[in-house]
Amino acid sequence: MELWQEMLRASVDSGKDLVERFGFDKELADKLNTLFHIRINPYYLSLIRYQGDPIWLQCIPDAKELEEDNFPLDPLNEEGDSPVPSITHRYPDRVLFLTTSQCSMYCRFCTRKRKVGDSGKISMRFIQSGLDYIAAHPEIRDVIISGGDPLMLTDVMLEKIISGLRAIPHVEIIRLGTKMPCVLPQRITQKLVRMLKKYHPIYVNTHFNHPWECTPEAKRACEMLADAGIPVGNQSVLMKGVNDDADVMLELMRKLLMMRVKPYYLYQADITKGANHFRTPVSVGLDIMDKMRGHTSGLAIPAYVIDAPGGGGKIPLLPKYVLGRNGNNIILRNYKYDIYQYPDVEEEDKAPEVQLERKFMRKRTKPARKKVYPKETVRADGQTK
């Protein structure tokens, strides 16, 4: 048994553990564990510095989870975009492939808590149907392997899935969505990275939310992936009491770059049932983005997005940098709030209906007409007319 598996066995993973380790009321602990299973491995537990700190909030359940908030269990309508049990197919050229229900640490803000931890809903028995679906859809060129956490699978089982995807000619990109570099970096072993590098191009998206998670162990795990030629990106969630502060977020992004991890997304917290206490106003996220842009390298700036409720996909949000126009000049402000004018290129004169179409239509509803040229005719003297 590998070290990471031994550490999993020593996890806090029951209501009884909450009572014994943290003094929870037994009835409350059992209710919370029934609502969404508890698992906190010893490594991540060791990062807690005091009760209620940013690490505690992410992993220790709270009575607030039991409050009725009228929010959905499936806020992103993943079930509606699921043609077979293991696949979410929302975007034209890529799919989410759920391969396991298990995680090494169950985040209390999880947006997929209706399925995560339940082997009846995300199961190995659905893997082949997922591979068959991907093989039958040549438009799919990018597959994100997720779950749960796919690195909860053994190297052997994970390789079977990845090699199955690599056998499909139209699959170009394989991504692993895993929180292991953050919550259990001991899972990233030389044996694992040797296996993964056989299937390039392969990418990893991981999930750090606070600078305290950027430990020497996490740095080593991320560097092992990078040394194997696997680019690592990070997806953070904006959460009240965890990282809803520009200085904290800036420190996190800078530390990620030092670990060779590229900040990728900063998510506005989803409207998930039982997680409303983590949500912040959108204005907080915009203010954080405003205070990062220009004050650090563009490499450290993630895209701030809302994953639209109901399955609308990721929608980027930006502070307001374009203030208006002055004739052909665009009025802009920079990160210091200094004002500048940029002379725009004059638009060609178009009929009003064409301008309207260009402004509001992504593509024509009817195919453009082909220009028809008159056929040449030959005169009696051999000339064309």
**Alpha-carbon distance 138 to 91, whole Å?**
13
Q: Which of 101, 35, 41, 91 is nearest to 274 (CA)?
A: 35
Residue 373: pLDDT band (50, 70, 90) is very low
Mean pLDDT of 184-193: 98
- This prediction has a pTM of 0.88
For residue 287, CA distances in Å to 80, 85, 244 come to 34, 39, 10
- SS3 state at 186: helix
Mean pLDDT of 132-156: 97
Mean pLDDT of 293-312: 95
**Alpha-carbon distance 35 to 14, whole Å?**
12
Query: Is 268 within 8 Å of 304 (Cβ atoms)?
Result: yes
Characterise 365 by phi-psi region: left (phi > 0), alpha (psi -120 to 50), beta (else): alpha
Predicted confidence at residue 374, as pLDDT, reads 43
**Alpha-carbon distance 96 to 145, whole Å?**
6
Q: Is the pLDDT of residue 385 over 60?
A: no
Query: Is 237 within 8 Å of 280 (Cβ atoms)?
Result: no
Residue 361: pLDDT band (50, 70, 90) is low
Q: Give catalytic residues, as residue numbers.
A: 90-91, 94, 103, 107, 110, 112, 270, 307, 314
Tell me, what amino acid is at 99?
T
Q: Is the pLDDT of residue 359 over 70?
A: no
Other beta carbons less than 10 A from residue 202's beta carbon: 21
Q: Is the pLDDT of residue 283 over 50?
A: yes
**What letter does residue 104 receive in the DSSP assignment?**
S
Q: Which of 84, 94, 168, 79 is nearest to 130 (CA)?
A: 84
Predicted confidence at residue 120, as pLDDT, reads 86
Q: Is the pLDDT of residue 343 over 70?
A: yes
Other beta carbons less than 10 A from residue 222's beta carbon: 26
291 versus 347: the higher-pLDDT residue is: 291
| % of residues, the chain, pLDDT over 90 | 85
Residues pairing with 98 in the sheet: 146
Predicted confidence at residue 348, as pLDDT, reads 73
The residue whose two tokens read 């048994």 is 1
Mean of all residue pLDDT scores within the chain: 92
HSE at residue 125, side-chain half, CA atoms within 13 A, is 3
Q: Using one digit for the tens of pLDDT, what is the confidence trace for 13-56?
A: 999 999 999 999 999 999 999 999 999 999 999 999 999 999 99
Terminal alpha carbon distance of the chain: 87
Predicted confidence at residue 382, as pLDDT, reads 45
**Alpha-carbon distance 60 to 108, whole Å?**
7
Tell me, what amino acid is at 159?
E
Q: Is the pLDDT of residue 358 over 70?
A: no
State which of 72-76, 229-233, 345-349 shows the largest mean pLDDT.
Answer: 229-233
Q: Which CATH architecture has domain 79-321?
A: Alpha-Beta Barrel (3.20)
Predicted confidence at residue 381, as pLDDT, reads 46
Q: Using one digit for the tens of pLDDT, what is the confidence trace for 236-270?
A: 999 999 999 999 999 999 999 999 999 999 999 99
For residue 291, CA distances in Å to 246, 280, 285, 288, 296 come to 6, 17, 10, 5, 9
